[in-house]
Amino acid sequence: MRILVVEDDPDLNRQLVSALSEAGYAVDKAMDGEEGYYLGETEPYDVVVLDIGLPKMDGISVLEQWRRADRNMHVIILTARDRWSDKVAGMDAGADDYVAKPFHMEELLARIRAQVRRATGHARAEIECGPLRLDTKTARVTVDGQPVKLTSHEYRLLAYLLHHAGRVVSRTELVEHLYDQDFDRDSNTIEVFVGRLRKKIPAHLIKTVRGLGYRLSPETDEA
């Protein structure tokens, strides 16, 4: 899952990027409205954390322009101006949720998880696929109840496939959603990580759909 953080305060920006990276997300950052708008316009993010009070272009304008351009990623606005008029303006501009400053990082992470679930059509924090189970709150993966140790890249890949279980996910989509913009996007790395994952979870769960990509599915007959 790839997240964009648009926050002008360098300390808060750093904290957000760090906390989200630790939580297993690929994170890009922008320090002002214009940069944030550009990234949101050109990169496929799953969730954007957008501050309202930004230099160069305010958050509401950024959001409105994204929505006008049919950019439909989920957006959580961060606002120090926590009056209801500000919240309503933010929601009317197309936000999906708001978090008022100052906030606890856990609260923001919970809201982000909720948005990711919403984006992929999952109602609960736990996502299952056959014996495979992901607790998005704790980022724990189990197979038949037994915990599986994953590196952060493996976790991101598996989490993305789990969120989109049953659907064919192309390599390009995986690259776009799993790595931040600074990452060396060699599509072979995906195959390397898929290979590693198949050794840690039942290998038949991740199917290769030739010429199209991968599909996570519990059915064995397609293996």
- Binding residues vs another protein (CB under 8 A): 9, 11-12, 15, 19, 53, 80-85, 87-88, 90-92, 95-98, 100-105, 107, 110, 114, 117-118, 123
Q: How far is the CB of 101 from another protein (least distance, A)?
A: 4
In angstroms, rounded to a whole number, what is the distance separating the alpha carbons of residues 53 and 32?
9
In angstroms, rounded to a whole number, what is the distance separating the alpha carbons of residues 211 and 161?
17
Q: How far is the CB of 19 from another protein (least distance, A)?
A: 7
Contact 71, 96 (CB under 8 A): no
Q: How far is the CB of 140 from another protein (least distance, A)?
A: 17
Contact 180, 156 (CB under 8 A): no
Contact 20, 112 (CB under 8 A): yes
The residue (of 140 and 200) whose beta carbon lies closer to another protein is 140
Q: How far is the CB of 190 from another protein (least distance, A)?
A: 30
- What lies within 8 Å, CB to CB, of 38 at 6+ separation is 30
The residue (of 70 and 222) whose beta carbon lies closer to another protein is 70
Where are the strands (E) in the chain, listed by range? Answer: 2-6, 26-30, 47-51, 74-79, 97-100, 126-129, 132-135, 140-143, 146-148, 168-169, 206-209, 213-216
The residue (of 82 and 186) whose beta carbon lies closer to another protein is 82
The residue (of 110 and 143) whose beta carbon lies closer to another protein is 110
The residue (of 9 and 43) whose beta carbon lies closer to another protein is 9
Q: How far is the CB of 88 from another protein (least distance, A)?
A: 5
Tokens matching residue 104: 């606890």
